[in-house]
Amino acid sequence: MLADDTLHQQKHRVLRDVFGFDGFRPGQEAVVDTLLGGSSILAVMPTGSGKSLCFQVPALVLGGLTVVVSPLVALMQDQVAALRLAGVAAEAINSSRSRTENVDTWRRVAAGETRLLYLAPERLMTDRMLAALARLPVRLIAVDEAHCISQWGPTFRPEYEDLARLRHLFPEVPIAALTATADQVTREDIAQKLFDGDAHTFVTGFDRPNINLSVEMKRDWKRQLLTFLKAHDGESGIVYCLSRKKTEEAAAFLAEQGIPALPYHAGMDKADRTANQDTFLTAPQTVIVATIAFGMGIDKPDVRFVFHTDIPGSLEAYYQEIGRAGRDGQPAEACLLYGLDDIRMRRMFIDQEDSDDDRKRREHKRLDALIGFCEAPECRRRPLLAYFGERTDPCGNCDTCRTPLELVDGTEDARKALSAVVRTGERYGAAHIIDVLRGSHTEKVATAGHDRLPTFGVGNDHGKDVWRSIVRQMVAADLLSLDIGGYGGLKTTEVGRGLLKGEGSFRYRNDTVKAKPAKLQRTQRAETDLSDEDASLLAKLKALRRELAEQRGVPAYVIFADRSLIEMAHQRPRTTLEFARIHGVGEAKLRDLAEPFLEAIAAADV
């Protein structure tokens, strides 16, 4: 290892001569020094803070070969292109290149001509690649977008979890894991899997103060989107949608309104998807309408807004997606729409995920935290940053700071809830605490003896939905903390304990998400109330029900009751979200039966 003074000189020379910077940004130098000292690191740094430089500078100082694990081809290509423009011998081996190109690249790597080699985990973690790398002077391994180890590994990219073998295969090589998005549980998960807990962790802050935050209840998402975009006329931004179909629909709608919008999702032809991404990156006023397939590693500095037409799956996902705005440090805006349908669909996605119950439980709790953020009674930035373990004063740059809400004094309700949490041992989740507060005689309450507590039944003046909202807002206000890594238990915070002692107050918003008005209520309609067209559609739906029942060998009513078919004929749902509102449509039927019935309804309208 080089002497400290030599390392100091070389890192600054590389920083200046290769990258053209006179000094490191906050947080970078400590990470660089730790890697140069031979120790592994986990660095959590905000988008736009220069994470890549944290491993690129050590790579050039240490010499030899640095292997960079990157999740997406587009991300690899962008970083390799940027390094080559800086005169750095960087290469990538991936599926977008021909076999001949990849073989030629490997020859340069094996000859010692390459300093940084970018690989996807699936290509890196093959026996052949690992054996080949073992014969080369690997000096550093960097895992970019390291949150994927925790979020993707258990589901559809198991090779991410397989990266845990690297510390055994290359025991003398420091490993750098870098991400902009990792709460405490995710950080611990990464550190355990990748380093067996033996690594230096650097968290340089999560706040992006230049991004204005706002949340709206979803009413008419197209109208809300259009109103928002008219205020950002001539600016470049990203609109996120939950499904591919909605992505296409939103892009077409905006184009009809004269807004240059392009779709992007994984179901598109690859050439079209790449062309749309390139247009977005190069054209100054383009709006990209995308699923979450878009955005990771996209380095477009002048994205002025991010608009979510549906809620993401967690605060981590939300933070990562809004982080694509305002990377140039100039003002940007993030607007999120949310509603009951969003929450239901997200719950369904979690339940249908191919993962164990423990992970599903954690993901439900992460979704709870996001809902709490949406319902935050005061400054939004406080619960967002508190989720990542960071405290802040009211930001002045969110909707609730700019236009304070009408709030209800909930101090006594909060004290009741805090008392119930304390008296039950600070280890039960919200559902149990609410049962205690409402005096519900459940088996769990009786078994624990919590029906004998002084707090049993003291909150029976509120329904379950009201209490759920109050508890979420208490978490958002830092009165309670949610144990996401454990079993979702609620614990009192220092602020909460102060409220119990009579210090301070708590106010909450009572305009939480409610079911839509009467036109969407699931009231039973007699067949005689149907128009001739609706009656004709009902007959077709009954025929389809009979056909599906015969295929499955079950009675017709098991598929759907008449009431469900009557509602379909009358309401004519067009999307899975609308279909989910039909009487008798649960998660399994939404998954297994929505498509044929939606097709029949659509065909009747032609």
**Phi then psi for 261, rounded to 5 degrees?**
-120, 140
Q: Which CATH architecture has domain 408-508?
A: Orthogonal Bundle (1.10)
> Which residues of the chain form CATH 3.40.50.300?
4-203, 211-378
Nearest to 43, CA basis, from 23, 24, 17: 24
Question: In the CATH hierarchy, which fold is given to the domain comprising 211-378?
Answer: Rossmann fold (3.40.50)
**Helix/strand/coil for 455:** coil
> Which residues of the chain form CATH 1.10.150.80?
518-604
The pLDDT, as a whole number, for residue 285 is 84
Mean pLDDT by 10 residues, the chain (606 residues): 69 88 88 94 83 94 95 79 86 89 95 95 92 96 86 60 90 92 82 86 87 91 95 93 92 95 89 86 86 68 92 89 87 90 79 80 85 87 88 91 87 96 93 94 94 94 89 83 73 93 89 43 45 85 88 74 86 89 76 89 80
* Contact call for residues 170 and 129 (beta carbons, < 8 A): no
**Helix/strand/coil for 488:** coil
User: Who's near 514: CB < 8 A, 6+ residues apart?
Assistant: 340
Angle between helices 4-17 and 28-36 (to 10 degrees): 130
> Which residues of the chain form CATH 1.10.10.10?
408-508
Question: In the CATH hierarchy, which fold is given to the domain comprising 4-203?
Answer: Rossmann fold (3.40.50)
**Phi then psi for 72, rounded to 5 degrees?**
-130, 140
- CB count in 10 Å sphere of residue 292: 16
Question: In the CATH hierarchy, which fold is given to the domain comprising 518-604?
Answer: DNA polymerase; domain 1 (1.10.150)
